Structure 1
């Protein structure tokens, strides 16, 4: 007999890890905005989610891996943009001739 307001399907189904979702979202947004901040957050959230899902405690292992990979890509993009800016003399804008 199930309790009030719950169904057997929801009690036995595997839920997606929230940290895996957070890592994936931070990784995706970090590709476009604030990659130096969101990249490390995606790596941390993804790594913690991988550790939590290692014992079979919930779903989201693929999202956690994607969050870690996107976090690394975020940091690589940041350092490439930083190197390009440094090699071009910084962030100076020249108007006219």
Structure 2
């Protein structure tokens, strides 16, 4: 039983590191396209990664900030065009 506990712990840390990186990438991508979907996903992934104690805290914080920025960009475009869709 003691041999499986460290392996599970390493897998959990690797999963949270992956969540932190995924939140950063999705938040960055959300600034360009599909910010209504990618912003909230980035926020949730970053929050879960931070809550679980990721080793990549900076990436998770950047993902959280980019997810919030996605929603702010969406709100700005909704205010400007009075629609949820926008184009370049």
Query: C-alpha separation between the residues in 1 aligned to 2:48 and 2:74?
Result: 23
Query: C-alpha separation between the residues in 1 aligned to 2:51 and 2:32?
Result: 27
In the alignment, structure 1 residue 78 sits paired with structure 2 residue 74: yes
Structure 1 runs (4+) greater than 2 angstroms displaced: none
Structure-2 residue corresponding to 1:36:
36
In the alignment, structure 1 residue 65 sits paired with structure 2 residue 61: yes
Query: C-alpha separation between the residues in 1 aligned to 2:64 and 2:55?
Result: 16
Aligned residues: 72
Cα root mean square deviation, aligned: 2.2
Residue 59 of structure 1: how far off its partner (Å): 1.4
Residue 26 of structure 1: how far off its partner (Å): 0.6
Normalising by structure 1, what TM-score? Answer: 0.67
Query: C-alpha separation between the residues in 2 aligned to 1:61 and 1:47?
Result: 10
Normalising by structure 2, what TM-score? Answer: 0.74
**Unmatched segments (≥5 aa) in structure 2:** 1-9
Question: Residues 26-82 of structure 1: CA distance to partner in whole angstroms, max 9, x if unpaired?
Answer: 1000000100100000000000000111xxxx5111000000000000000001001
Query: C-alpha separation between the residues in 1 aligned to 2:75 and 2:45?
Result: 21
Query: C-alpha separation between the residues in 1 aligned to 2:56 and 2:40?
Result: 19
